[in-house]
Amino acid sequence: MGAICISSAQEDLNQARYSVALEQAYALVDSLPGEALVLFQAAHRIRPSDTLALQIAYLLNGLNRNEEASTVFGALTDSKNPEFRERARSAVIILDDMRRANRTPLWARTSTAALYDSRFEDGILWLTLQGGWHLNTARSLSATLTLGIDADTRSDGSLIMPEIYADNYILLAPGLRYLPFEGMTVDLQAGIAYNTKLWDGRPRTQGDVRAVLSYGTGIYPIPAVTESMRFSGSFFADAGGSVGYYSRYTNTISYIQGRGGVRCVEWGATALDLYARLDVAQDSKREFYNNSVEGGLGIRIIPNHAWSIFVMLEAKRGLYVGNSRVDSPYGSAYGTQRLILVWERPF
C-alpha cells in the first residue's frame, strides 16, 4: 500500500513539473527561445511526445543548432502522426541542403545542365564543378578552382562550324568568388581551355579569362514530402541576370530571366510545376544568337527534392533584336522546344 502511495505522489510531482515547464516554455518561446528550449526539453524528458519533439526541433533550427535539429527531425520521420512525418521529412531535406551549402572553409558545388534545342537540332552539355576555400570569416570571399566541360552533338570538328554549335572544350581555371550581399555573385577566373574540337583556326589550347557579375532572387514553395498525392497550388517566382566578359569569345554577354508559376502536384518527394518564362540576351559583338527576346511556357518535374535534379520541357517563341534581325540566317522570329536536365548542388 505504501509503495502505491509513493508512486502516486511521484506521478503527481512529475505532472506538476511537466505543467510548470510547459507553461513557462510557451511564455518564453518568442522572447527567450533558448530558455524556452531548455524547458521544453525538461518537459519532454518527463513525458516524451512527438508534439514536444517537433517543437524542440523547430527551436533548435531557429537557434541555428541545425545538427541537433536534424537529429530530432530525423527521429520524427517515423512518427505515428502523418502530419509530423511530412513536416519532419521536409525539414530533413532543407537542413541537409543548408548543411552542405554552409560548409567552411572548404566547399564544393556543381552546376550542370544537359539541353536539347529543337531550333538548332543540337544536344548540349554544360558541366561545371567548382571548389573553393573561404578567405575570410564572413565567407564572402573564396579562392576557387573550376573544372568546366562544354560539349554538343552537332559539331563535327570541321573548322567551318559556327561557334554556336562548335564550342567543345575542357576548362581548368583558378579564380576568386566574391559574394557582396545575398543573391549577388562576382566570379573572376583565369585558366586554360583544351579545345576538344577545332574550328576557325582555333589552337588546341588557349588561355581563358572570365569576369562575370550575376544576381538572382526568388520565392519558392517549401519542399514537401507528402503521404499521398496532393494538388498544391503554391505560387513561385524568380528573376535574375548576369553580365560577363569571356576572352574565349572576345565578347561581353548579358542575360536577364524572369519566371512565375504554380506548383501543381506533390507526391512523396516529387513535385510538378507549371510556369511562364521570359528571357532576354544581348552581347557586344551583335551575334544573332546572343541578341534575342524569348517567352514561353514550361513544365518542371522534380523527381526527388533531396537529389537537387530538375527536368524541364519548354515551348518558346523568340525574336532576334537589333541587327540580329537582319544577320540571322533563320529569319527574325523563331519557335523552339527545349528539354533540359539540371543538377544544381553543393556537396
Residues 280 and 143 in one domain: yes
* pLDDT of 163: 57
Chosen domain end from 81, 101, 121: 101
* pLDDT of 119: 84
Residues 56 and 147 in one domain: no
* pLDDT of 160: 45
Q: Which three cell numbers mark 169?
A: 572544350
Residues 174 and 319 in one domain: yes
Distance CA 223, CA 126 (A): 26
Residues 131 and 87 in one domain: no
Residues 317 and 225 in one domain: yes
Domains: count for the chain? 2
Residues 113 and 72 in one domain: no
Residues 23 and 82 in one domain: yes
Asked whether the beta carbons of 135 and 142 are under 8 A apart, the reply is yes
pLDDT tens per residue, the chain (347 residues)?
Answer: 555 555 666 676 778 888 888 899 999 989 999 999 999 999 999 999 999 999 999 999 999 999 999 999 999 999 999 999 999 999 999 999 999 988 889 999 999 999 999 988 889 999 999 999 999 999 999 999 999 999 998 877 554 445 555 689 999 999 999 999 999 999 999 999 999 987 667 789 999 999 999 999 999 999 999 999 999 899 999 999 999 999 998 999 999 999 999 999 999 999 999 999 999 999 999 888 889 999 999 999 999 999 999 999 999 999 998 876 777 777 789 999 999 999 999 99
Q: Which three cell numbers mark 310?
A: 530538375
* Domain that residue 63 falls in: 2-101
Residues 11 and 86 in one domain: yes
Residues 95 and 126 in one domain: no
Distance CA 72, CA 118 (A): 48
84: domain CATH number is: 1.25.40
Residues 92 and 115 in one domain: no
Residues 231 and 210 in one domain: yes
* pLDDT of 9: 66
Residues 10 and 77 in one domain: yes
Q: What is the pTM of this model?
A: 0.86
* pLDDT of 154: 84
Asked whether the beta carbons of 320 and 328 are under 8 A apart, the reply is yes
